[in-house]
Amino acid sequence: MLSDASRSISQFSELAVELAAAPDEDARLKIGVDAAVALVARCDHAGVTINDKRVLMTRVSSDEVVQRANELQHELGEGPCLDVMRDQNTLVSTSLEQDQRWPRWAGRVHAELGVDSMMSLLVYTDRVSFGALSLYAREGKRFDADDVAVGQAVAAQLAVIMAAERKIDQLGLGMHNRMVIGQAQGILMERLDITADQAFDYIRRVSMNTNRKVVDVAAEIAATRTLIDIGRWPRHESARAPAS
């Protein structure tokens, strides 16, 4: 029987592969939200909230609780997804009923939605917006340090895969090619125990070293499940691979 630690490592390895193989960003965010509910012991509701110049949008959610909590933040002008920022990437409230940081919002969420505890975890930022993974625990449950650690791990997985995907976006590749690259990333992550970002760098380096298209290298890895020798690994380089 697997120990708790071994089970956790296995679950996060599976999550990383599943995220890498997802066809688009919406699918990845949904996988991340579902994983948060499944892996964070006291999490009952989860969603990804986008803050675009202090206008909140629920991008993906497990149910209507996150949507309504965000609507209340917008309506009342206060709440964790309005406060979580680049320099404070985790906000936790173990008791919304008693939390004075957002006196109107916290009380309304506790009374209307029946949740006792929440955490907001930064997933990505750009020049005008940022996204946070929002987790809520039902009344009678309060997030503890283990819950926060697991929530941060899920958020980190999302952050890494979204950063890697933006590299792929910069190459202007179509949907089919992106799916092929995602499949290859998943295989590399599993075989080499590396992140999605490192897996894409692996594919890119093969592309540069062999003067082949990124998607052709990825297709070979996906089809053969065989690693291509590129010498010492990992090593990050700034040069860009051929895009087409």
Nearest to 81 by CA among 133, 28, 154: 133
Nearest to 54 by CA among 112, 129, 1: 129
CA distance 233 to 228: 11
What does the pLDDT look like over 134-177, one tens digit per residue? Answer: 999 999 999 999 999 999 989 988 887 777 666 555 555 555 56
What does the pLDDT look like over 166-220, one tens digit per residue? Answer: 655 555 555 556 677 778 888 888 888 887 778 888 888 888 888 888 888 888 9
CA distance 215 to 3: 39
What does the pLDDT look like over 88-110, one tens digit per residue? Answer: 688 999 999 999 999 999 999 99
**ω into residue 234 within 30 of 0, thus cis?**
yes
**Which is more confidently placed, 224 or 105?**
105
Please give the structure tokens belonging to residue 211: 């003067």
According to the model, what pLDDT value does residue 218 have?
86
What does the pLDDT look like over 36-94, one tens digit per residue? Answer: 999 999 999 999 998 888 788 899 999 999 999 999 998 999 999 888 764 568 899 99
pLDDT band at 232 (very low <50, low <70, confident <90, very high): very low
Q: Considering the chain, what is the average pLDDT of its residues? A: 81
pLDDT at 2 over 60: no
According to the model, what pLDDT value does residue 230 have?
63
**Structural domains of the chain ordered from first start:** 4-165 (3.30.450.40), 171-224 (1.10.10)
